[in-house]
Amino acid sequence: MTASLKLISHKLCPYVQRAVIALKEKGVPFERVDIDLANKPDWFLKLSPLGKVPVLVVTTEQGEVALFESNVICEYIAETQAGAKLHPEDALRRAEHRAWMEFGSAILGDVWGLETTTDPATFDSKRQALAAKFARVEAAFGAGPYFAGEAFSLVDAVFAPIFRYFDLFDELTEHGIFRDVPKVRAWRTALAKRPSVSTAVGADYPQLLRAFLVRHDAHLLKLAA
C-alpha cells in the first residue's frame, strides 16, 4: 500500500532536517510545508500535540495519521520505505545507534545555549560543554567516513544539522570546539558533501540563521564585531 507523505516543517529547525535527510536518502517523494513557529496555524496545532515540528502526515486508504517527534518519524521512514538501510540489522548495534541519536539531541541543547545566550560566561560554558561532548563522539567514532563506516545511517542524519550551524559560527569566532577532534572534523566534511544533507535546507538558511542570532542579541555576534 502506497502512503503519501507530507512533512510540516520550519526552515531553521534541525529536527526537521533529520527527517528531510532520511526521506531524501530513501528517495521518497514527499510534500514539505513550512510554517511560522511564532504564529502557528490552528490546523497545525490540531496535528501536533506538542506544538513542535516536524510532523509527518501519513495518508493511506485508511485515513490520515500525524506522526510527531523527529526520531519517531525517522524510525518510521527507515522501517517502511524502500531503499538504503538507515539502521543496522543487529539489534544491539541498532540500540547503540539510537543512543547516539539521543546524544545528538543533547548536543543540540548546548548549541541552543551557545547561539541564544547574551552572556559571555554562559557562552564559554556552552562552548566547553560542546567540546567535551564532541570529544566523546571522537572516542566512539570508527574508520569513517560515516558513523557506521561506509554506510550512511540515522546517526549521520542527526549530526549533519548540528554541524551545519557551525558553517556560520566558524565565520563569527574562533570557538575551538573542533580543535582536538580530527575524526569528527572529517565526518563533518563528509556529511556536508552528501546531497541529502546539502539540500535539506534552502539557499536562504545562512541568512535566516544570522537573522535569528540578531533577534536574540546573541553574544556570538558580538565576537565577530
DSSP class per residue in the chain: ---EEEEEE-TT-HHHHHHHHHHHHHT---EEEE--TTS--HHHHHH-TTS-S-EEEEEETTEEEEEESHHHHHHHHHHHS-SS--S-SSHHHHHHHHHHHHHHHHHHHHHHHHHH---HHHHHHHHHHHHHHHHHHHHH--S-SBTBBTB--HHHHHHHHHHHHHHHHHHH----TTTT-HHHHHHHHHHHT-HHHHTSS-TTHHHHHHHHHHHTT-HHHHHT-
Indicate which residue of 13, 16, 57, 86 is catalytic.
Answer: 13
13 is catalytic: yes
Write out the catalytic residue numbers: 13
